Amino acid sequence: MPAVVLIGAQWGDEGKGKATDLLGSRVDYVVKFNGGNNAGHTVVVGDEKYALHLLPSGILTEGVTPVISNGVVVDIEVLFHELEALSARGVDVSKLLVSANAHVITHYHRTIDKVTERFLGKRQIGTTGRGIGPAYADKINRVGIRIQDLFDESILRQKVEGALDAKNHLLLKVFNRRAISADEVVADLLQYAERLRPMVADTALELHQALESGKTVLFEGGQATMLDVDHGTYPFVTSSNATSGGAVTGSGIAPNRIDRVIAVVKAYTTRVGAGPFPTELFDESGEFLRSKGFEFGTTTGRPRRCGWYDAPIARYTARINGVTDFVLTKLDVLTGLKTIPVCVAYEVDGRRVDEVPVSQSDFHHAKPIYEEFPGWDEDITGARSFEDLPKNAQDYVLALEVMSGSRISAIGVGPDREAVVVRHDLLN
Ligand code: GDP
Ligand code: IMO
Ligand code: MG
C-alpha cells in the first residue's frame, strides 16, 4: 500500500498527529503537503508530549524521512526553532527534506495577517495570525518568495522589493502602520540560507522515486475538509487545500498513485475561529466536551467551540476526499453521558435537508436534527479490541459507520500512542 493520504474530516484538531504517529513505524516517508505553522498536532508518547506545528508528525518516528513539500508555506524561523527543540529532546531530525518550490512566510505576511484581522472587526475569520493567508495570497498573485530564492541574493532582493511595493502603500495609507524595509526582510531570510541548503530538494522527484521503489509514503494533511479553501465553509477557512486533492497538487504526486485515503474524525465536533457550526453547544454539554476532551488550541491556546457529531459532514468528507477508512478519535471523551445526540440531517427554513447545503446562508441557518444514542459509564481507555468496548459504545460506532459513508477502521480511546482499537489494518 504505497501512497496513503491522511486528512482531517471536520474543522481540524481531530487527532491527525496521533493517527500519523500510529502508522509511523510502518511508513518510509511522511509528507506535509499544505498549510504551515497554523497547524498544531499534539502527540503523546509515554510520558512525553510533543506539540508540532510546521513539521510533519512523522518526524517523531525513527527511520522515517519527513518531507515539507511544495504546497506548504514555511516560516523559516519557526522551522529552525522546532528542529532545535526536537533535537534537544533527542529526536533525529537530520533526514528532513524541504521542497525548493515551497513558499516562504515572511515578516510582512505575519503583519498583514494581524492587521487585516483587526481591520475586519466583527467580520474577522479568527486566523492563527501566522501569516498563512497572506503568504498563499502572494503565491496565487505571483509575488511569493520560494525557498529556492534564498540561494540567489539578487533575485531574492528583487522579489522582496516587488512584493513590498504595493504592501507598503497599504500598510502606510490604509492600515496606518510603518512601512517594512526590504533590506531587513532580505537580511532576515538570508541568515538561514546556508543552514537550509542541505535540506532543500526536488521533493516531487524524491517521492516519485520512493514510490517507484516500493516505499510507503504517508501524506499528512494539516487543517481539515471544512477548512479547505474550495470545499470548506468559505470564507471561514484556511487558505490551502486540506482535502486529498491537495496531496496531489501540494506534493507533485499524480492522483492515480494514491491507494488509500484515511480521514480522521472526532466522535463529536470542534472548531476554532469563526464560521458556521450547526451542532455547536452553548450549554453545559459543550462545557463537558471542552473540559473532558481538553479542547484548547495547540497553536493559539484558544478554547475550541464544541458540539455533537455531524453525520452529513462526515458523508461530505467521504465524498470530497474519496475516504476509504475513517479513524474515529476521542470516543473516551463521551464516557459518562446518559445519551449521545448525533446530527443526522438539518432543518433549513422548515425543510429537512439530508446533506451539507451548497448555499452558505443555508448552512448558517441549518438546525441539526438529532437522533439520540444510549451512553455508557465504563472506562474505555484500556480497550484494545472492539469487543473490549461496552455494547452501547460499539453500537454508537456502528451507527456512525452506517451514517458516515465509509468504514471506521480504528478508534481512539485516549491520548496515548497505545490507546487505540484497530478494526481493519490501515495500510493493507
Ligand atoms: P490534530 O491537529 O488533528 O493533530 O489534533 P490536535 O493534536 O490539535 O488535537 C487532538 C488532541 O486530542 C490532542 O491533544 C491529542 O493528544 C488528543 N487525542 C487524540 N486522540 C485521542 C483520543 O482518542 N482520546 C483522547 N482523549 N484524546 C485524544
Ligand atoms: P490542525 O492541523 C483548527 C483555523 C483558524 C481559523 C481559520 C483560518 O491542528 O487541525 P489561518 O491561520 O489558517 O489563516 O486561519 O482556520 N485553523 C485551524 N483550526 N486546526 C487547525 O490545524 C487549524 N489551522 C487553521 O482557527 O479559523
Ligand atoms: Mg491541531
Contact 8 CB / ligand 2 (< 6 Å): yes
pLDDT given at position 346 = 98
Retrieve residue 345's grid coordinates: 440531517
CA–CA separation, 176 vs 75, rounded Å? 25
- Count of positions (residues) in the chain: 428
Q: Which atom of ligand 1 is nearest to the CA of 411?
A: 23
How far, in Å, is the centroid of ligand 2 from the Cα of 194?
A: 31
For atom 10 of ligand 2, the residue with the nearest CA is 12
Q: Among 13, 219, 223, 329, which is best to mutate for testing ligand 2, by the most ligand atoms less than 8 A from CB? A: 223
Burial 240-263 (b: 16+ CB within 10 A, else e): bbbbbbbbbbbbbbeeebbebbbb
Retrieve residue 236's grid coordinates: 471561514
For atom 11 of ligand 1, the residue with the nearest CA is 15
103-194 has which fold? Adenylosuccinate Synthetase, subunit A; domain 2 (1.10.300)
Do residues 130 and 223 lie in contact, with contact meaning Cβ atoms separated by under 8 Å? no
How far, in Å, is the centroid of ligand 1 from the Cα of 332?
A: 11
How far, in Å, is the centroid of ligand 2 from the Cα of 313?
A: 17
Q: Which atom of ligand 1 is nearest to the CA of 299?
A: 8
Contact 34 CB / ligand 2 (< 6 Å): no
Collapsing DSSP states into helix, strand and coil, what is residue 21?
helix
Which of these CATH numbers, 3.50.50.60, 3.40.440.10, 3.40.190.10, 3.40.50.1110, describes 3-98+200-262?
A: 3.40.440.10
Contact 131 CB / ligand 2 (< 6 Å): no
Q: Which atom of ligand 1 is nearest to the CA of 8?
A: 3
Contact 273 CB / ligand 2 (< 6 Å): yes
Q: Among 60, 329, 397, which is best to mutate for testing ligand 1, by the most ligand atoms less than 8 A from CB? A: 329
Do residues 333 and 307 lie in contact, with contact meaning Cβ atoms separated by under 8 Å? no
Chunk the chain into consecutive blocks of 10 residues (it has 428) and report each block's average pLDDT, rounded to whole numbers.
93 95 92 97 90 94 96 98 97 97 97 94 94 98 98 98 95 93 97 97 98 97 98 98 98 97 98 96 97 91 95 98 98 98 97 96 96 98 98 98 97 94 94
Q: Which atom of ligand 1 is nearest to the CA of 412?
A: 23
Q: Which atom of ligand 1 is nearest to the CA of 44?
A: 16
For atom 10 of ligand 1, the residue with the nearest CA is 15
The CATH architecture to which 265-422 belongs is Alpha-Beta Complex (3.90)
Contact 240 CB / ligand 2 (< 6 Å): no
How far, in Å, is the centroid of ligand 3 from the Cα of 176?
A: 33
Do residues 264 and 16 lie in contact, with contact meaning Cβ atoms separated by under 8 Å? yes
Domain residue ranges in the chain: 3-98+200-262, 103-194, 265-422
Compute the chain's Rg from CA coordinates: 22
Give the catalytic positions in this structure: 13, 41
Burial 328-344 (b: 16+ CB within 10 A, else e): bbbbbbbbebeebbbbb
pLDDT given at position 45 = 85
pLDDT given at position 1 = 59
How far, in Å, is the centroid of ligand 1 from the Cα of 31?
A: 20
For atom 5 of ligand 2, the residue with the nearest CA is 127
Residue with cell 451507527: 399
CA–CA separation, 425 vs 428, rounded Å? 6
What single string gives the DSSP state of each residue in 360-404?
Answer: HHHHHH-EEEEEEEE---S--TT--SGGGS-HHHHHHHHHHHHHH
CA–CA separation, 311 vs 403, rounded Å? 6
Q: Among 42, 265, 380, which is best to mutate for testing ligand 1, by the most ligand atoms less than 8 A from CB? A: 42
